[in-house]
Amino acid sequence: MSIPAGFDELIHPTTRLSVVALLAATEWADFAFVRDSLSLSDSALSKQLHTLEEAGYLELHKEGGGRGRRTRVRLTDRGRTAFEGHVAALRAIVEGAGPTTQAQSPALQRHDSGAAL
């Protein structure tokens, strides 16, 4: 099976996919909200945001200074388009897999008969 159009290797890793999916549901999100929602450390989230920003998939906006500094993040139009294309590609992969028949899968036959895999 070939990789469907729209599949995005940059977005696909679990952490980045989680970040982009979270941001797709909103216009802007605070760094702390994204960090806490995904249970990431500041450094882990910063690294993923930097990678996505370099690709043009998101925009960072920093306000204030010192301890009162606030970072907000949003998907760009390019990032939103990439995410939507990636989700469509994943759906195509899943739908293309379809149900296997027992004749095609001996492991499935054992599983269906109650035998251990």
User: What gap in Å lies between CA 57 and CA 49, rounded to an integer?
Assistant: 9
pLDDT at 98: 72
- Does residue 4 form part of some domain? no
List per-block mean pLDDT (blocks of 10 residues) for the chain, which spans 117 residues. Answer: 86 96 97 97 97 97 87 97 96 82 50 50
Q: Can you give the pLDDT at residue 45? A: 98
Q: What is the pLDDT of residue 110?
A: 47
**Cα gap 7→57, rounded to integer Å:** 15
What DSSP character marks residue 101?
P
d(CA 48, CA 93): 25
Number of domains in the chain: 1
Cα within 13 Å of Cα(95), Cβ side: 7
pLDDT in the model for residue 117? 47
Domain that holds residue 85: 14-112
Q: What is the CATH number of the domain that holds 49?
A: 1.10.10.10
Residue 30 covered by a domain? yes
Could you identify the residue written with the tokens 């450390």? 41
* Inside any domain, residue 24: yes
Question: Distance (Å, rounded) from C-alpha 9 to C-alpha 55?
Answer: 12
In this prediction the pTM is 0.78
